Homo-oligomer: A and B are copies of this chain.
Amino acid sequence: RTSRENAKQSVLSRVAVCGGTHGNELSGVYLVRELLKVKKGVMEKEEEQEEEEPLSVLKVLSNPRAMQQCRRYVDTDLNRCFTHATLNGLTSGTVPYEMIRSRELNAMLGPKGRSGAVDLVCDLHNTTANMGLCLIAYSDCDWICLHIFRHLQAISNKESYSLDSVGKHGFAMEIGPQPHGVARSTVYTAMKAGVQHMLDWVCFFNSGTLFEGESVDVFTMIKHIDYPRDSETRNITAAVHPHLQDRDFCPLHPEDPLFQTFSGETLRYKGNEPLYPFFINECAYYEKAFIETTAADWREHTHTHTHTRYLSN
């Protein structure tokens, strides 16, 4: 069967491209600003050819206050505010800015889980990790996303608290390495091309193109590994080992170096099987332990490597 025969939804008429969900991840901020300047340009070229199935692309700057301060967020991480509980729960007292903003975004792009939601959300992110262009989704059986991932020859994993969960389909486009608060031209250009390819695929789909079943590489989350920390102060006591730094998605074997302590000692990976670390030394995960006081702050998300057949015959 082809994707079109599988489709309950015959057309993706409303697509949202979001930047600045984290205010210091600048590629998305600058790309969305650039797209907002281009009213009827290249990015929506299909719109005029396909008048009966117009494609509407909403360009959204998700967290303007955090962008203004060039911080990840002002009060709390916006990209953890899109659970049903946060979007629909009662509030009292001082409400964090991002909770208010998540409800605004849900009204604009959702409501999450409802028929009025946009068809596809593409949320743009940067990481300090050496991950290249990487696509992250909650589900490994959303065939719209999987077709887009294959179209971009990319990868996915799962979770469900973030902005891209508001649309009927959604994923995050994550590109690195780029320091937060900095724009690197090559990273910006790769993201721009990635968004263009995603919109191209939507246009192909909307115009009735048939897509053959194929396989796509998927990394599935297994666990987090936190930095070694001082038991009293919770300060980290080691950095990622130079042999591991920048080796995202490369296999990490038992006894491979993991950390180098600030006094110079090497700490090794004590697991029993090889895993594929990613988000290695991502800036945003340093502070999580301070804020959430969990051991999950450093998402050296280790992953198994599987092939998923995403369309059956």
Contact = CB atoms under 8 A, between A and B. Distances in A.
Given A70-B286, A283-B179, A245 B184 contact: yes
A188 interface: yes
A188 B239 contact: yes
B184 A239 contact: yes
Contacts of A262: 30-31, 33-34, 188
Contacts of A2: none
A181 interface: yes
A139 interface: no
Contacts of A184: 239-240, 245, 281
B186 A245 contact: yes
A108 interface: no
Nearest to A176: B179
Contacts of A160: none
B260 A185 contact: yes
A263 interface: yes
A258 to B, nearest CB: 11
A180 interface: yes
B235 A286 contact: no
Contacts of A260: 185, 189
Interface in A195-228: none
A86 interface: no
A188 B236 CA distance: 13
Interface string A61-95: 00000000011000000000000000000000000
A141 interface: no
A107 interface: no
A76 B188 CA distance: 30
A68 to B, nearest CB: 8
22 contacts: A31-B262, A33-B235, A33-B262, A34-B262, A37-B263, A71-B71, A128-B179, A128-B182, A179-B179, A179-B180, A179-B283, A180-B181, A181-B283, A181-B287, A182-B286, A183-B236, A183-B239, A184-B240, A184-B281, A185-B245, A185-B260, A189-B264
Given A179-B283, A182-B283, A184-B239, 20 more contacts: A30-B236, A30-B262, A33-B235, A33-B262, A37-B263, A71-B71, A128-B179, A128-B182, A179-B179, A181-B284, A181-B286, A182-B281, A182-B286, A183-B236, A183-B239, A184-B240, A185-B240, A186-B245, A189-B242, A189-B260
